[in-house]
């Protein structure tokens, strides 16, 4: 039954996501009102340029005056992206008593504490399901469903653009550039795709996930990050030969104390090899998936569309229904606790496996020399494959060594790579890539 006054909803942005939010809000108006117990009235849509054609977006609602729109709203949906003016608008909305829904991981990962603190102070609610994993419900499970459990590890594919690029390069032999262009045309990529391909976007999402999972603040600058721009077709071919595939992974985990070092958390994003039989290996296209390992719940996997206007709009509308119901029912917003104060540790504290491809001179003793470098730094070799290089039917006098290691600290592994690079018998190191999920 609808007894409550209509709730005024302001939409900031009408791009890939915003246009779909506007469409779904309009098309599903009656059903949404029945679910909430109040009508959701879209009162305006802020954009930069009023002259742009926007099929399906009610033209009479468009405005460039975001500030006036915010002041009269009960709920503000921010899907503009970027830091400013999105940050100022969100702070204004919260100050004026509105609940805020945002998909803006860049903003939350850099200014989260400021925004969350203000929301708590004024008793408003901040919802951000769409900020990680597009349509996949992952924020609410971490924020609410697992709030009584202890999360130990998260490993996921959280960027649709890079997963799309890697998948197209691997399955069709597409070039990096053409796969990126396709991802941009499909509306998956950020306004500046550097955010995707250099893994800034995935790092921001990892920071948000880790902060919720470990109840602690995670400074974005402490998230270790490597993008996918250096991944080559040769690395993909080698991976296929070995029954592996390359994925850009976001990993958040607790790291135990050592005799000399404190416990903490590691939050990192890098391309890594995973076995083809690993569930994350079958995540294709722009899909995302997040594995969560919790003490009592065990292993959980969340899978679905990680990007795309309509898909992301679904997560926004879910948040909108929650926010609207809270208005109808009354009561303050729920704050997230960041009491744990875990230190975000450097990559050197992480235990991982490497696969290293080395071009060496094909002479007696070279293999032993290489093996000694690994053992001198406490890194145990798991597999070695040697292939003599042949050009025009003749041996070139060089060989390719593919070395797989057991788990060791990242610090020890990078020292091994450094020493190998300075070794005369090593002509070139053509690939250094971590291995996860084995
Ligand atoms: P777009 O670039 O497609 O759209 C941005 C919209 O915001 C445009 O309508 C733009 O107006 C408007 N805008 C930008 N700056 C201003 C400003 N200063 N004042 C008023 N309006 C402004 O972005 P997306 O829709 O792709 O992304 C929006 C947010 O959602 C981002 O935070 C993104 O990270 C996040 N996100 C995106 C996903 C996706 O698949 N695309 C998935 C998950 C999250 P105009 O059209 O006039 O330029
Ligand atoms: N550019 C992002 C991606 C959008 O490709 O995953 C979803 O956050």
Res 437: pLDDT: 92
* Best CA proximity match to 292, nearest among 252, 338, 337: 252
Structure tokens given for 179: 């796969």
Ligand that lies nearest to the alpha carbon of residue 105, given by its number in the listed order: 1
Cα-Cα-Cα-Cα dihedral sign, residues 367, 369, 374, 378: positive
Q: Are 158 and 202 in contact (CB under 8 A)?
A: yes
Ranges of beta strands (E only) in 105-192 are 126-127, 151-157
CATH fold for domain 140-305: Dihydrodipicolinate Reductase; domain 2 (3.30.360)
Closest by CA to 13, choosing from 102, 92, 91, is: 102
Confidence bin at 84 (pLDDT 50/70/90): very high
Among residues of the chain, what percentage have pLDDT more than 90? 91
Instruction: Indicate the domain borders of the chain.
Output: 7-132+310-329, 140-305, 350-435
Q: State phi, psi for 371 to the nearest 5 degrees.
A: -60, -40
Return the percentage of the chain with pLDDT > 70, whole number.
100
C-alpha 424 – ligand 1 centre gap (Å): 52
Instruction: Give the whole-angstrom CA distance, residue 397 versus residue 390.
Output: 8
Full-model pTM: 0.96
In this predicted structure, what is the pLDDT of residue 1?
Answer: 72
Average pLDDT, the chain: 95
Nearest ligand, CA of residue 194? Answer: 2
Predicted local confidence at residue 332, as pLDDT: 73
Give the Cα separation of 3 and 236 in Å (integer).
Answer: 59
- Please tell me what DSSP assigns to residue 163: H
Opening angle at CA 269, ends 319 and 296, nearest 5? 60
Pocket of ligand 1 (CB under 6 A): 13-18, 46-49, 52, 66, 79-81, 85, 103-105, 130, 134, 187-188, 190-191, 307-308, 312
Task: Report the range of poorest mean pLDDT among 71-80, 222-231, 388-397, 411-420.
Answer: 388-397
CB contact burial 52-89 (16+ within 10 A = b; e otherwise):
eebeebeeebbeeebeebbeebbbbbbbbbeeeebbeb
Residue 405 near residue 436, CB atoms below 8 Å: no
Say how far apart CA 119 and CA 158 lie, in whole Å: 26
Please tell me the predicted confidence (pLDDT) of residue 47.
Answer: 98
Closest residue by Cα to atom 1, ligand 2, is 189
d(CA 92, CA 5): 23
Active-site pick, 105, 205, 222, 247: 205
- What integer pLDDT is reported at residue 240 of this predicted model? 96
Q: Look at residue 243 and tell me whether its pLDDT is greater than 90.
A: yes
Amino acid 40: pLDDT: 98
258-267 pLDDT tens trace: 989 889 999 9
Q: What is the pLDDT of residues 10-51, one digit of tens each?
A: 999 999 999 999 999 999 999 999 999 999 999 999 999 999
Of 216, 212, 214, residue with least CA distance to 142? 212
Give the mutation target among 167, 306, 312, 314 for probing the ligand 2 site: most ligand atoms within 8 A of CB: 306
Query: Is 431's pLDDT higher than 90?
Result: yes
Q: Are strands 264-275 and 381-391 parallel, antiparallel or unpaired?
A: unpaired
pLDDT tens digits, one per residue of 299-354: 999 999 999 999 999 999 999 999 999 999 987 776 777 888 899 999 999 999 99
Q: Is 350-435 the same fold as 7-132+310-329?
A: no
Ligand 2 proximity of 196 Cβ (cutoff 6 Å): yes
Average pLDDT over residues 410-437: 96
Please, what is the Cα angle at 405 between 288 and 276, to 5 degrees? 35
Residue 394 clears pLDDT 90, i.e. is over it:
no
Strand residue runs (E) in 202-330: 224-225, 244-255, 264-275, 287-294, 298-305
The hierarchical CATH code for the domain 350-435 is 3.30.70.260
Domain 7-132+310-329 listed as CATH 3.40.47.10: no
Largest CA distance in the chain: 86
Structure tokens at 277: 């039989």
Asked if 318 contacts 32 with a C-beta cutoff of 8 angstroms, the reply is: no
Checking if the pLDDT of 114 tops 90, the result is: yes
Residue 394 annotated as catalytic = no
DSSP annotation of 399 reads E
Q: What is the pLDDT of residue 397?
A: 84
| 16 ligand 2 Cβ < 6 A | no
Q: Is the CB of 81 under 6 A from ligand 2?
A: no
Structure confidence at residue 378 as a pLDDT band (50, 70, 90) = very high
400 token code pair: 């390719």
| CB 159 less than 6 A from any atom of ligand 2 | yes
pLDDT band at 393 (very low <50, low <70, confident <90, very high): confident
Judged against a pLDDT cut of 90, whether residue 389 lies above it is answered with no
Cα(15) to ligand 2 centroid in Å equals 14
Q: Is the peptide bond before 85 cis (omega within 30 degrees of 0)?
A: yes
Contact 338, 216 (CB under 8 A): yes
Sign of CA dihedral 73, 77, 79, 83: positive
């Amino acid at each position: 039954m609808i007894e409550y006054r209509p709730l005024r909803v302001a939409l900031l942005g009408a791009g890939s996501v915003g246009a779909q939010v506007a469409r779904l809000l309009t098309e599903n108006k009656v059903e949404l009102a029945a679910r909430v117990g109040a009508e959701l009235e879209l009162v305006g849509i802020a954009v930069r340029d009023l002259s742009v054609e926007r099929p399906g977006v009610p033209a009479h609602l468009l405005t460039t005056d975001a500030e006036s729109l915010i002041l009269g709203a009960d709920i503000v949906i921010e899907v503009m992206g970027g830091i400013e003016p999105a940050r100022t608008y969100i702070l204004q909305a919260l100050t004026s008593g509105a609940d805020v829904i945002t998909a803006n991981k860049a903003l939350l990962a850099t200014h989260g504490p400021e925004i969350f603190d203000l929301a708590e102070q004024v008793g408003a609610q901040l919802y951000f399901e769409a900020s990680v994993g597009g349509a996949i419900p992952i924020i609410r499970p971490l924020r609410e469903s697992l709030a009584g459990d202890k999360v130990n590890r998260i490993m996921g594919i959280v960027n649709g653009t890079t997963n799309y690029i890697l998948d197209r390069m691997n399955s069709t032999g597409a070039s990096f550039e053409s796969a990126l262009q396709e991802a941009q045309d499909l509306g998956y990529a950020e306004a500046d795709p550097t955010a995707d391909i250099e893994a800034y976007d995935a790092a921001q999402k990892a920071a948000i996930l880790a902060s919720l999972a470990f109840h602690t603040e995670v400074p974005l600058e402490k998230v270790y990050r490597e993008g996918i721009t250096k991944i080559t077709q040769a690395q993909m071919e080698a991976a296929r030969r070995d029954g592996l595939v390359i994925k850009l992974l976001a990993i958040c985990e607790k790291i135990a104390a050592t005799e000399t070092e404190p416990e903490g958390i590691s939050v990192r994003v890098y391309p890594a090899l995973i076995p083809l039989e690993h569930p994350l290996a079958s995540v294709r296209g722009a899909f995302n998936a997040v594995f969560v390992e919790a003490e009592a719940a065990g292993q959980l996997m969340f899978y679905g569309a990680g990007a795309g206007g309509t898909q992301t709009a679904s997560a926004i509308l879910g948040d909108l229904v929650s926010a609207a119901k809270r208005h109808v029912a009354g009561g303050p917003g729920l704050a997230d606790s960041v009491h744990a104060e875990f230190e975000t540790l450097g990559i050197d504290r992480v235990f991982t496996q490497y696969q290293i491809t080395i071009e060496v001179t094909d002479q007696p003793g070279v293999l032993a020399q290489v093996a000694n470098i690994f053992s001198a730094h406490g890194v145990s070799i798991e597999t070695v494959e040697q292939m003599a290089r042949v050009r025009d039917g003749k041996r070139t006098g060089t060989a390719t060594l593919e070395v797989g290691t057991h788990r060791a600290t990242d610090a020890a592994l990078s020292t091994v790579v450094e020493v190998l690079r300075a070794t005369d018998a090593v002509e070139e190191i053509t690939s250094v890539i971590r291995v996860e999920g084995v």
